[in-house]
Amino acid sequence: MELKVIAFDADDTLWVNEPYFQNTEKKFCSLLEDFLPQHSISSELFKIEVDNLALYGYGIKGYILSMIEAALKISDKKIGLAAVDLILEYGKEMLNQPIELLDNVEDVLATLKPHYRLVVATKGDLLDQERKLKKSGLAHYFHHIEIMSDKREDDYIKLIKHLDIDPDEFLMVGNSLKSDVMPVINIGGHAIHVPFHTTWAHEHVETNLIHQNFKQANSLSEILPYIPI
């Protein structure tokens, strides 16, 4: 690999994210369990979340709106204002969560920074992702921060052009095969998949990916042997 830029996903690659959504979903399901079984509430919420992605994008704020919409639908608009207020509090709790870095993140970034331009390439709400990056204490490791509305091939092509490099000079590291690996491989870049123990259902793909530009690692520290230093 003749790499110039290494990009990292943020949520569940650099720091913990998805467990906060799952914990909030459990509270949301408990709140509405008089109307439907909890597994049915989860299914309805997921459907509404996915349907709303084109309107709200990814992130906690869209999730809050989707929870309120789901609560109104599941309860046939019988849910009271106190419950809506509680859902808003769930969302604010998520927005105020401390940042929990994953193991060895700073060691990996400190090792790579002298040799490559490091980039954050993440999707989600602009304000929320900027807040998390600031709270993480990691911002000084990165040459560029790219907060994307989505992670499709065109989005990566745009990023690579902005960085003034060729696709084969770009490596993406992330926990999602769907968002962090497959689009990058498809445009001629390199990718390393570092799975997190839990992943949002929308990011799941069934694939047995074999490609010369693709590597798998069990943790962030395991990416280092794959990268020339």
Position 209 confidence tier, pLDDT thresholds 50, 70, 90: confident
135 burial (CB, 10 Å; 0-12 / 13-18 / 19+) is middle
- With residue 138 as reference, give the H or E element that holds it: none
Q: Mean pLDDT over residues 168-191, rounded?
A: 95
User: What is the torsion angle, in degrees rounded to the nearest 10, for the CA atoms of residue 159, residue 162, residue 164 and residue 167?
Assistant: 10
Topology match between the domains 5-15+100-226 and 18-95: no
- Measure the CA–CA gap between 167 and 174, rounded to whole angstroms: 17
Token output for 218: 């069990």
Query: Can you give the residue ranges of every domain in the chain?
Result: 5-15+100-226, 18-95
Token output for 40: 């049915």
- Condensed to tens digits (0 to 9), the pLDDT of residues 93-142 reads 999 999 999 999 999 999 999 999 999 999 888 888 899 999 999 999 99
C-alpha separations of 83 from 29, 38, 70, 75, 99 in Å: 12, 16, 12, 11, 27
- Condensed to tens digits (0 to 9), the pLDDT of residues 27-50 reads 999 999 999 999 999 999 999 999
Helix count (H) and strand count (E) of the chain? 8, 6
- Measure the CA–CA gap between 65 and 91, rounded to whole angstroms: 9
Fold for domain 5-15+100-226?
Answer: Rossmann fold (3.40.50)
**The domain at 18-95 falls in which architecture?**
Orthogonal Bundle (1.10)
